Amino acid sequence: MPAEAKRPRVIIVGAGFGGITAARALAGHGLDILLIDRTNHHLFQPLLYQTATAALAPSDIASPIRVILRRDRETTVIMGDVTGVDAARRVVAVKDTGEFGYDYLILATGADYSWFGHDEWARYATSLKTLDDAGTIRRRLLSAFEWAESLNEPKEIARLLTFIVVGGGPTGVELSGSIAELARSTLARDFRRIRPGAARIVLCEAGPRLLAAFPPRLSDYTARALASLGVEVRLGAAVEHIDARGVSVAGQRIESANVFWCAGTEARPAAAWIGVDAAHNGAVKVRPDCSVPGHDEIFALGDVASLADRDGKLLPGLAAVAVQHGRYVAKVILCRVAGRPPPPPFRYRNLGTLAVIGRSRAVADFGRLQLRGFPAWLLWSLVHLFLLAGYRNRMVVYLNWSWAWFTYGRGARLITGASHGAEPTTAA
Q: Residue 336, class by beta-carbon neighbours within 10 Å (0-12 exposed, 13-18 middle, 19+ buried)?
A: middle
One-letter identity of residue 394: R
Cα–Cα separations (whole angstroms), residue 412 to 41, 60, 143, 405: 20, 11, 13, 15
Listed in sequence order, the DSSP H helices in 207-307 are: 216-228, 270-274
Distances (CA, A) of 42 to 63, 111, 285: 5, 15, 25
d(C-alpha 138, C-alpha 73), whole Å = 38
Write out the H or E segment, with its range, that includes residue 406. Answer: helix 391-407
Q: What's the rounded Cα separation, in Å, for the pair 8 and 184?
A: 56
Give the span between the Cα atoms of 420 and 413, in whole angstroms. Answer: 17
278 beta partners: 284
Query: What one-character-per-residue DSSP string does 154-166 give?
Result: HHHHHHHTEEEEE
The whole-angstrom separation of Cα 54 and Cα 186 is 10
Rounded distance between C-alpha atoms, residue 52 and residue 49, angstroms: 5
**How far is residue 85's CA from residue 99's CA, in Å, rounded to a whole number?**
9
Phi and psi of 112, rounded to 5°? -115, 170
**Catalytic amino acids?**
174
Asked if residue 53 lies in contact with residue 171, where contact means CB atoms within 8 angstroms, the answer is no
- Long-range (24+ apart) CB contacts under 8 A made by 380-383 are 380/354, 380/355, 380/356, 383/354
The identity of residue 136, as a single letter, is T
